[in-house]
Amino acid sequence: MFSRLNQVARHFSRPLPNYLHSSAAAPALTATASRAMAAERGKRTINTAGCIIIGDEVLGGKTVDTNSAWFAKYCFSLGINLKRVEVIADDESEIVEATRRMSHNYDMVVTSGGIGPTHDDITYQSIAKAFSLPIVLHEKAYERMKRLSKPHPSQTNFSWDEDSPARRAKLRMIQLPYDESLPDEDQVIFVADDLWVPINVVNGNIHILPGIPRLFEKMLTGLKPRILPRLTDPEGKGVYRILFSTPLAESEVAGYLTELSAKTEGKGVKVGSYPRWGKSRNTVTLVGRDQEFMDSLVAEVEQGVKGRRIQFEGEDDDAGSDKDT
């Protein structure tokens, strides 16, 4: 009896297999296979996207993130389905985990932040570690940096020809994760003649960008011509959205919208309902790609929500009391 109990105890004391680790679930990819997958990933059709905002200052409330909202509109305008936005710390392990996971899950990944000259700007080195890549000082980026950037007024004695802490700090911004087996133009992309900062593309689909909103927006706008041919709709018409204004409370239209959602689901149309606190009217939306079908629903939806189609939210606001949310 005791012998049998001891066998059971030994069985349950054994460590459980780590099924979440890739090596436990499947053989590790060879370096050659991994590079081939990265090359293929950089050419595939873009249907989905993920966004990683990197920065302790965002998590600490010092800086407000606007880049993820801008990227969401960017994706919507191109018909890309933005599936996830994460805000993470300037922490190597978090950057490694998030970039590996999102690169695997989504067709296009954008990171924002952590590529400056200071000690806590660790995005490049962390992503290099995530994909077992070396950090390389990119010569073309270096030449552009010397030509287009200007030393800060406080750096009166700065020289590109002499080693100094300031020069070493600047060079951190062009020391990039780099795969020697892939074409340079697929890894380091310059999108504007007046910018030395490149978009560094890693593992075929991770696009590393600065966190400064003006640069983030300008660089993604400049990247658009490279993205358009890889979209489901190469003309980049994006997704179609129809807005309706309704005086009814959300709870009042919930039943009708449930029926409408079931009716339109097969056509790839999503029905949304958005309360507007303190306003007399709420918003209902239809979002999809089948414009003709969606337009055919307008009269029905206007009647169902006792409202009307509008061009932008708040178009027909008037003074009113708070509503049932």
Q: What is the pLDDT of residue 316?
A: 84
Q: What is the pTM of this model?
A: 0.78
* Dihedral sign, Cα of residue 38, residue 44, residue 46, residue 48: negative
Q: Nearest CA to 223 among 242, 233, 232, 236?
A: 236
Residues 146 and 261 in one domain: no
What does the alpha-carbon distance between residue 113 and residue 140 come to, in Å, rounded to a whole number?
22
Q: What is the pLDDT of residue 305?
A: 96
Residues 197 and 291 in one domain: no
Q: pLDDT tens digit string along 82-98? A: 999 999 999 999 999 99
Terminal alpha carbon distance of the chain: 63
Q: What is the pLDDT of residue 29?
A: 58
Asked if the structure places residue 5 within a domain, the reply is no
Residues 185 and 254 in one domain: no
Q: What's the CATH number where 267 sits?
A: 3.30.70
Q: What's the CATH number where 48 sits?
A: 3.40.980.10
What does the alpha-carbon distance between residue 263 and residue 269 come to, in Å, rounded to a whole number?
9
Identify the domain boundary among 230, 254, 279.
Answer: 230
Residues 58 and 201 in one domain: yes
Q: What is the pLDDT of residue 320?
A: 44
Q: Residues 228, 64: contact at Cβ < 8 Å?
A: no
What does the alpha-carbon distance between residue 311 and residue 297 come to, in Å, rounded to a whole number?
16
Residues 70 and 46 in one domain: yes
Residues of the chain with pLDDT under 50: 1-28, 319-325
Size of the chain in residues: 325
Identify the domain boundary among 201, 230, 259.
Answer: 230
DSSP 209-253: E-S-HHHHHHHHHHHHHHHGGGBSSTT----EEEEEEESS-HHHH
Q: What is the pLDDT of residue 235?
A: 67
Asked if the structure places residue 155 within a domain, the reply is no
Q: Nearest CA to 49 among 234, 231, 286, 287?
A: 231
Say which residues have a Cβ less than 8 Å from residue 319's Cβ, sequence separation at least 6.
280
Asked if the structure places residue 21 within a domain, the reply is no
Asked if the structure places residue 74 within a domain, the reply is yes
Say which residues have a Cβ less than 8 Å from residue 200's Cβ, sequence separation at least 6.
124, 176, 177, 187, 188, 207, 208
Q: Nearest CA to 81 among 51, 111, 112?
A: 51
Structure tokens at 23: 């090596």
Q: Which domain holds residue 284?
A: 240-310
Q: What is the pLDDT of residue 318?
A: 66
Structure tokens at 243: 């807005």
